[in-house]
Structure 1
Amino acid sequence: MKYRGKVTVLLTTLVLATVCLWYINDNGEQNVAINTSGVRFFTAATLAKSKSFCTDLGTNYLKPEWDFRRYERPKFLTNYKNPCYLGRRMTNNESLVEGRALHCLPYFIVAGFPKSGTTDLWARLFNHAEIHIKHGKEPRFFNIGRFTAPFERVMVQYIRMFARSTIELQKLVAPLDCGHEFPYHHGITGEATVDASFDIKDWRQVPGNENCSEPAFTNADVAYHLNPNMKIIFVVRNPVDRAYSDYIYEARFLRYPTNPQLFHAAVIDAMRNHTGCWRHHHSVRACAYNNTIESMKVRLRVGMYHIFIQDWIDVFSSDNILVIKAEDTMGPPKIADVYNRIFSFLSVRPFTRMEEMEVFQRGPVNVRSKHEKNIGEMLPETRKMLESFYRPFNEALRKLIPEIDYNAS
């Protein structure tokens, strides 16, 4: 496996004196009043037992059955572009090859981020002839499912989810002159659990993360263990707009009241919790992976894109990572170029002209309802506060992905 032998500590070139360590007083006023000299920006997942944020003390909270490293990666078939293998039957509705069941893992994952147009991306990928996704968008295996039972058992459930897509992959055969052995199955499948980028439900109990203040092993390490050649797609959106969209969207399920004033108050609470966490841990990364310091109303940590993307790059390398802007997928003139980048990254053919006309003329999906639009936009003072909060994180993202600069916009 591809694990780093030492901690990568980045005292990021964001000026630490302005690194978003805001003090929010009881009146909601903002003051930059915290000494940031001890703040560390960890940008890489690291080996367990790292002296920087893991200790050698014993623990009573370890869950050895959750150790993904115990899972033996199958030998993938060379005549399938997608990672597929032959194994025992799991259901009655499976493709069979010489009496054995054909199973497939995802060739790609859309790993982030929520409320950034990923449902729209998923719907458009569904129309590509070489991409077979006959299953749900978000199985939530990496961030939640793998913590529900021994890893080998939940892997069976995860693989079962791709059964219908696997049947389609077996049917698709490349032409004889494609340069591969015949028959060569050139279709691919994937999934889009967008919380996989930042959410690790019970990471503290996973072997390798014992006694760590922040995860040494992340979801990226699990994905790499399953398929080292997996393609990872991130869709980012202006984090200020993403936060407000997320606030309105989650109210559909959590039934909390929504209006710009309540959002402003929730933002202040979330900022107070984050700054308190930073003072305690001296590491922004530790708090970014802490799912206990904020509610579903305002998930500020989701917009700290560079922290999570860097962790995946450190595991897979940048060649396996594609980051695109949600704003470029909303329509002309950039949408066609963005999808051509995606298809090139996935090594599938581009849309034909007719396919582009059909797919790109459709309106976006999973947008606000009429009722949600009537809530109105966030208050100007809330936007200003969030822009200040995210400024150093946006700068770090720009240094990582130079073509994406949300501070400029």
Structure 2
Amino acid sequence: MWNTLTGSNTRKRTVFLISVTICIFVIYAQWSKAFGIFSNSKGNSKPDNVNLFSEKLRAAANNQLTSVKNVSDKRTSLPTLQDSNFELKEINSFDITTLTNVTNATEIEQVNKTLTLLSRQVGSDSVIDWSKFQHISFRQKPKQNMSDLPYFLRFEKAAYDIMNMEPITFDPAFKNPCWRGGDSFTSLNDGSLHCLPYFYIIGVKKSGTTDLYVRMKRHAEFCEPFRKGSQWFPRLRFGTDVTSRINNYVLSIIQRGFDPRKVEFFISLFDKPALCISRSLSTRRGKDPLRYKMVTAEASPSTFHMHTNWERLPGNENLNDPRYTNFQYIKHITPNVKIIILFRDPTTRLYSDFLHTTRVWYGRYSPYVFHRDVIQLIEAYKSCFRRFSQRSCVYNNTLKQELRSKGVILAESFNAGFYAVYMKELLAVFGKAQLFPILMTDYITKMEKTLRNAFSFLDMSSVSSRTMRRMLKIGPQNVSNKKKAGIMLVETRDMLYEFYRPYNEDMVTLMNDTQYLFPKP
């Protein structure tokens, strides 16, 4: 047939092709209609399944939210659909034009996109979250929490008694603090090589710690641990908020019989870099005693400001502020360790952390929610400072728990902005020689110089120009997305700058550097 249409009769051939195309389209349209593929996205008529979808959405939401309330970690108290300020009034092919507290086209568009996704998730393993000031979103159900493990059913002080540990005798042939199990640490009497971090990147959260770590791990003398930060000091050993860290590697260590509350467990987290270090025998040069020059690190940014359960630990009982913190524990097990800290304007850092935290856990993108939380945080800490010392309030875990119970999600992060309090502790414990502070602005504008200075501080070999180019070519890491939420409200920014100013001035005096004033842009 085709042959009869070829040749000079182009008109007949064109008509034939058009006819065939129309036939295919009609058949496909009828087939799609029969199986319900096409949705009625325009017009006033509502499809028959709209009310059914609305009922399923409401039922699924209430069922899922009820289950969230029973989750052991209870990161947030979520209302039922009836208690929420959101009310589903009209659903026309997932097109909502009337939604309480949604007042602009951008938010309505976001609601439409979210509901379209949600329509595919009804009946699945999803949890619906919402907030007074922002759109509906959903996240996955939390996995097993560390606090559900039998280790954490009761608090045993002996498990956390680090300060009474006998000092570990490290092998001088290793640049990194390493030793053979059985030589000096009887609880790891297995004859294997064990190592602890040579240096820590301890904070501050949302100040570029991930970005710095990702670039530094490209150094030829670096052995990468199982993850950037184990969060063992601030979280993991207490079973606190570590859902995402219950991975196969951690569980395998527990299955080997290690108690996650004890230092032996922390040491076991570095078995992978210990193996890497043991295979890196170097050629001695002159009188250099070092035979193994590879090192490893730990980079949990919460170590700087999150001193969980300090009031229950041995030596801190019945005190208003701690005698021992994360810093003393690190110093005790690794006396010569080196510490890197990045600092950022505490106001912009807090908003960045808000965007990151709400994106990961709650789906609550809104500068208005941030403004509301900041007001409560400032009022709570001002009230505390009128009654107690600055240090007591900064380390007051009860205050942070009360704020969290009111729905304030940034109590820990707000606390991290008191830089001078923690820096005084660090200087008292480690001294200037073991500390390398970095301003985030310097890191961004002078990245190569900062990296070379960091490697020099760590006594690591200078990297070649080629390696440095590779480090600098890496894209920015762990950057918060401000486009969705918008910029911080001016009134919120002014409140925070005013609140943090005296503490920034203390930091200027402590560091002898006016850059720590972090002037308002």
Q: TM-score range by the shorter chain?
A: 0.7 to 0.9
Is contact 1:165–1:189 with CA below 8 Å preserved after alignment? yes
Match of 2:227 among 132, 136, 146: 136
1:174 deviates by 2.8
**TM-score of the pair, normalised by structure 1:** 0.77
Distance in 2, Cα, partners of 1:367 & 1:390: 23
| Partner AA of 2:293 in structure 1 | H
| Partner AA of 1:82 in structure 2 | N
Distance in 2, Cα, partners of 1:165 & 1:65: 25
1:218 deviates by 0.8
Distance in 1, Cα, partners of 2:518 & 2:305: 22
1:73 maps to 2:184: no
1:324 deviates by 0.3
1:367 deviates by 1.1
Gaps of 5+ in 1: 1-60
Give the 5 Å matches for 1:202-221: 202-221=309-328
Deviations 1:20-55 (A, max 9, x none): xxxxxxxxxxxxxxxxxxxxxxxxxxxxxxxxxxxx
1:378 deviates by 0.4
Determine the structure 2 residue equivalent to 1:321: 435
Match of 2:396 among 278, 290, 305: 290
Distance in 2, Cα, partners of 1:139 & 1:180: 32
Determine the structure 2 residue equivalent to 1:375: 485
Is contact 1:234–1:324 with CA below 8 Å preserved after alignment? yes
Match of 1:343 among 440, 455, 458: 455
Determine the structure 1 residue equivalent to 2:179: 85
Deviations 1:307-359 (A, max 9, x none): 112101101111111110112222x4x11111122111111022211111111
| Partner AA of 1:138 in structure 2 | G
1:157 deviates by 1.5
Distance in 1, Cα, partners of 2:460 & 2:452: 9
Determine the structure 1 residue equivalent to 2:272: 164
1:261 deviates by 1.8
Distance in 2, Cα, partners of 1:360 & 1:387: 32
1:390 maps to 2:503: no
Distance in 1, Cα, partners of 2:363 & 2:381: 22
Determine the structure 2 residue equivalent to 1:121: 212
Is contact 1:62–1:205 with CA below 8 Å preserved after alignment? no
Gaps of 5+ in 2: 1-154, 240-253
Deviations 1:349-384 (A, max 9, x none): 222111111111222111124xx4221110111111
Distance in 2, Cα, partners of 1:69 & 1:197: 19
Determine the structure 1 residue equivalent to 2:251: none
**TM-score of the pair, normalised by structure 2:** 0.61
Deviations 1:200-252 (A, max 9, x none): 11111111111111111111110011011010111111111101001111112
Determine the structure 2 residue equivalent to 1:311: 425
- Name the SS of the counterpart of 1:69 in structure 2: coil
1:152 deviates by 9.1
User: Alpha carbon RMSD of aligned pairs, Å?
Assistant: 2.4
Distance in 2, Cα, partners of 1:297 & 1:221: 26
Is contact 2:316–2:323 with CA below 8 Å preserved after alignment? yes
| Partner AA of 2:464 in structure 1 | T
Q: Which has the larger radius of gyration?
A: 2
1:122 deviates by 1.0
| Partner AA of 2:351 in structure 1 | Y
CA distance change for structure 1 residues 224 and 199 in 2, over 3 Å: closer, same or farther? same
Give the 5 Å matches for 1:54-65: 63-65=157-159
How many percent of aligned residue pairs carry the same amino acid?
A: 31
Is contact 2:359–2:365 with CA below 8 Å preserved after alignment? no
Is contact 1:344–1:350 with CA below 8 Å preserved after alignment? yes
1:236 maps to 2:343: yes
Deviations 1:152-201 (A, max 9, x none): 962121111111111111122333325323x7101111101111111111
Is contact 2:225–2:269 with CA below 8 Å preserved after alignment? no
| Partner AA of 1:101 in structure 2 | S
Determine the structure 1 residue equivalent to 2:517: 406
Is contact 1:66–1:147 with CA below 8 Å preserved after alignment? no
Distance in 1, Cα, partners of 2:221 & 2:178: 15
Determine the structure 2 residue equivalent to 1:50: none
Determine the structure 1 residue equivalent to 2:385: 278
Structure 1 outlier segments of 4+, above 4 Å = 148-153
| Partner AA of 2:218 in structure 1 | N
Give the 5 Å matches for 1:150-161: 154-161=262-269
| Partner AA of 1:405 in structure 2 | Y
Distance in 2, Cα, partners of 1:65 & 1:368: 37
Distance in 2, Cα, partners of 1:373 & 1:379: 14
Distance in 1, Cα, partners of 2:228 & 2:176: 18
